[in-house]
């Protein structure tokens, strides 16, 4: 059987043959690619020549390219175009990949060669980039168990395999739990308060599911506006409880998975000589240590928590004056009353803004911003296949016409696509043998779909999300360098959000908004007064949302600074779980201990953050959720330079491209930032931006 995953694509730029790839291709491709990768590793390890940077470190960096290609396609589609069979394949592949990773990282002969080169590092004629690759390669082996005893290596491999499978299971459970709930309405009176576009979305979802009336679900475009606008508190409560109890009990329960994942990570870290998983994870990040993270979170929390409580108290009093009968602001009522307050005090609502943000206009504007700042162009390539009919493909070119990347944009929700928004790569920038392969970059979102007779209209929040993910995409598309592990978004986790969060600033700049924001029906430009109200409302409830993010960071740290065995997670690799050992409340106990002192809304029994906290349990942000706030500090300071020089300053953009976007992880991130900005970042920059005092 011809396998398009194993045959280099003949399409322009090596674009994947999504039109030919079928599910039955994945397992054979993975097995063949793993065999090929093992053979490449064996050849490096058995090389009779003395170890050198070229024949060992560089050869290792470029090994496994076929496996990278297969993995890049499969795991991205597992998130964006999944079904039960894809999940089954993932479960079959996961132990094979873990075994391959262990074959590399615990290969004593290979490590001996890398170590031999590393020990000569000061005598070798290496430039800074190659020296960093050498250091990172050696450190990667050590952090993956290369210095462990033979018995501990077996334990490490066993724990890693179980962890990888559990992370997959966790993500599947969140997706299944999210998809399992729908709110089906057949009485038009139950739609009280919902704007026309939200009603249309509910009707379209009902048609897709073959149901009468209107259907609302837990996807972002459905859940968020329902909570903002529905005048039915009983229905808001039902939706809120469903969303905030995802994977807590029931067939997709994640309570055991949370406990076991945290305990496995703790055991792996301690096996490698670290006190906690957070100590292990932070070693490779800008923050470097748990105390540094806690210091940041504490410094931001100190003024933000009382300010957030004042915001909620003011909203409660305002709502009570208008008939709200609760003594406390209930969490399912917060978005509803917040939207009403914003509409009255700022004469602003998402319903007012949405008609001006037609998706196609937003795409042109976001691309145009990249052109204005960095000189890049986006040429549609409808001849190149996407993995779904909704996916749009663009050739990204520099000002001189040089090909920089292929860009895949996947905007709309559908079954089998996880919620949220993210940027990813199908292929990293690489230059094996000096032959450059430019990246294949993708952003995936869940924007409101076009309705009957109307286009896709974005909320302002969705436009901001678009800019955020596009910032990540620029980091990938504008990458320069040779080594894939050190280009694009392959940087410290707490640095990677800088380009994305920086881009969000333009969503509030009248100079950028007004030229493209036109009413989709009348063509009238967005009124100046509406833009001014949008800017004025930017920091509305900023303290509340800051505390919300800080709470997520604190919860992440709570899970990953555990030093002792979690009850029910015996260290004998039996996989025992709390349900079997009498500790079913441990998940909520950990949450309560971490967050009780930082509450701004009532805690509701029967709900849980951790069981659907995909970022930290299956999304790569373990002991790293704080990085959003770390990066916000960076971007607040960075954007102040654009404000000083002009928000479209090519001079500042060129410096940001040269010192940040193009460099990837080829240099220490703190050095890169100082080179761009001229000084260390200060958390006060973020507090000043948010007007929290």
Structure letter (DSSP) for residue 574: S
Q: Is 67 exposed, middle or buried (0-12, 13-18, 19+ CB in 10 A)?
A: buried
CA distance 510 to 490: 33
Residue 517: the pLDDT is: 97
Q: Which is catalytic among the residues 61, 161, 428, 469?
A: 469
Q: Please give the angle made by the CA atoms of 584, 588 and 594, to the nearest 5 degrees.
A: 140
C-beta atoms surrounding 602 within 10 Å: 11
Token representation of residue 554: 């604190």
Instruction: Evaluate whether 232 touches 336 at the Cβ level (below 8 Å).
Output: no
Please give the angle made by the CA atoms of 26, 28 and 61, to the nearest 5 degrees: 80
Which structural domains are found in the chain, ordered by start? 12-147 (1.20.1050.40), 181-243 (no CATH)
pLDDT of residue 514: 95
Question: 687 and 303 in contact (C-beta within 8 Å)?
Answer: yes
- Residue 576 is predicted with a pLDDT of 36
- CB neighbours of 52 closer than 8 A, spacing ≥ 6? 117
DSSP 50: P
In degrees and rounded to multiples of 5, residue 106 shows phi and psi of -105, 15
Q: What is the pTM of this model?
A: 0.87
CA distance 287 to 238: 40
Does residue 469 have an active-site annotation?
yes
Report whether 333 contacts 233 (CB < 8 A).
yes
DSSP 105-141: HT-HHHHHHHHHHHHTGGGS---HHHHHHHHHHHHHH
The whole-angstrom separation of Cα 429 and Cα 436 is: 7
Pairing mode, strands 214-217 and 377-380: unpaired
Q: For the beta carbon of residue 364, count every other beta carbon within 10 angstroms.
A: 13
pLDDT beneath 50: ranges in the chain: 573-585
> Looking at residue 300, what is its pLDDT?
97
Report the half-sphere exposure of 51 (CA within 13 A, side-chain side). 20
């Amino acid at each position: 059987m011809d396998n398009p995953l194993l045959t280099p694509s003949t399409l322009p730029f090596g674009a994947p043959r999504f039109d030919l790839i079928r599910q039955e291709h994945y397992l054979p491709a993975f097995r063949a690619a793993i065999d090929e990768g093992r053979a490449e590793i064996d050849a490096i390890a058995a090389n009779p020549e003395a170890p050198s940077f070229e024949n060992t470190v560089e050869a290792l960096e470029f090994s496994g390219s076929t496996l990278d290609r297969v993995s890049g396609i499969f795991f991205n589609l597992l998130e964006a175009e999944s079904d039960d069979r894809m999940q089954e394949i993932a479960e079959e592949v996961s132990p094979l990949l873990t075994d391959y990773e262990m074959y590399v990282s615990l290969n004593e002969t290979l490590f001996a060669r890398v170590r031999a080169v590393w020990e000569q590092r000061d005598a070798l004629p290496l430039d800074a980039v190659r020296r960093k690759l050498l250091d990172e390669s050696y450190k990667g082996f050590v952090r993956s168990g290369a210095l462990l005893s033979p018995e501990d290596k077996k334990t490490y491999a066993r724990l890693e395999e179980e962890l990888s499978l559990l992370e997959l299971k966790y993500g599947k459970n969140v997706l299944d739990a999210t998809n399992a709930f729908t709110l089906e309405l057949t009485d038009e009176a139950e739609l009280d308060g919902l704007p026309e576009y939200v009603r249309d979305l509910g009707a379209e979802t009902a048609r897709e599911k073959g149901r009468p009336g209107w259907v609302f679900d837990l996807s972002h475009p459905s859940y968020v506006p329902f909570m903002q606008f529905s005048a039915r508190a009983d229905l808001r409560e039902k939706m809120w409880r469903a969303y905030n109890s995802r994977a807590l009990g029931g067939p997709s329960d994640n309570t055991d998975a949370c406990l076991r994942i945290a305990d496995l990570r703790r055991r792996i870290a301690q096996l490698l000589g670290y006190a906690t998983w957070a100590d292990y994870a932070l070693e490779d990040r800008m923050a470097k240590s748990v105390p540094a993270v806690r210091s940041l979170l504490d410094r931001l929390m100190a003024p933000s928590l009382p300010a957030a409580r004042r915001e909620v108290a003011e909203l409660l009093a305002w709502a009570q004056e208008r008939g709200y009968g609760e003594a406390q602001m209930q969490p399912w009522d917060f978005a509803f009353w917040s939207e009403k307050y914003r509409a009255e005090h700022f004469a602003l609502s998402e319903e007012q803004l949405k008609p001006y943000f037609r998706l196609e206009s937003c795409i042109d504007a976001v691309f145009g911003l990249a052109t204005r700042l960095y000189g890049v162009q986006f040429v549609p390539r409808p001849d190149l296949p996407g993995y779904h009919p909704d996916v749009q493909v663009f050739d990204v070119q520099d000002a001189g016409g040089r090909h920089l990347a292929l860009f895949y944009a996947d905007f709309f929700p559908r079954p089998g696509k996880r919620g949220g928004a993210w940027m990813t790569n199908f292929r990293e920038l690489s230059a094996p043998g000096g032959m450059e392969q430019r990246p294949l970059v993708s952003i995936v979102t869940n924007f409101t779909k076009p309705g009957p007779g109307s286009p896709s209209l974005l909320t302002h929040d969705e436009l901001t999300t678009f800019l955020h993910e596009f910032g990540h995409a620029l980091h990938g598309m504008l990458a320069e360098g040779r080594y894939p592990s050190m280009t694009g978004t392959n940087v410290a986790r707490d640095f990677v959000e800088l380009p994305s969060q920086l881009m969000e600033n333009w969503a509030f700049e009248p100079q950028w908004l007004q030229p493209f924001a036109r009413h989709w029906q009348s063509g009238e430009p967005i009124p100046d007064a509406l833009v001014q109200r949008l800017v004025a409302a930017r920091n509305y409830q900023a303290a509340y949302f800051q505390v919300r993010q800080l709470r997520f960071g604190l919860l992440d740290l709570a899970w990953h600074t555990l030093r002792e065995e979690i009850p029910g997670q015996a260290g004998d690799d039996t996989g025992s779980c709390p349900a079997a050992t009498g500790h079913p409340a441990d998940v909520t106990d950990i949450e309560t201990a971490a967050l009780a002192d930082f509450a701004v809304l009532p805690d509701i029994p029967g709900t849980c953050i951790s069981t659907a906290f995909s970022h930290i349990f299956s999304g790569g942000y373990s002991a790293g959720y704080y990085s959003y706030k770390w990066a916000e500090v960076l971007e607040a300071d960075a954007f102040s330079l654009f404000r000083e020089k002009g928000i479209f300053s090519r001079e500042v953009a060129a410096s940001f491209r040269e010192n940040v976007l193009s460099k990837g992880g080829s240099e220490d991130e703190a050095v890169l930032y100082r080179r761009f900005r001229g000084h260390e970042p200060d958390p006060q920059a973020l507090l000043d931006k948010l007007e929290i005092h």
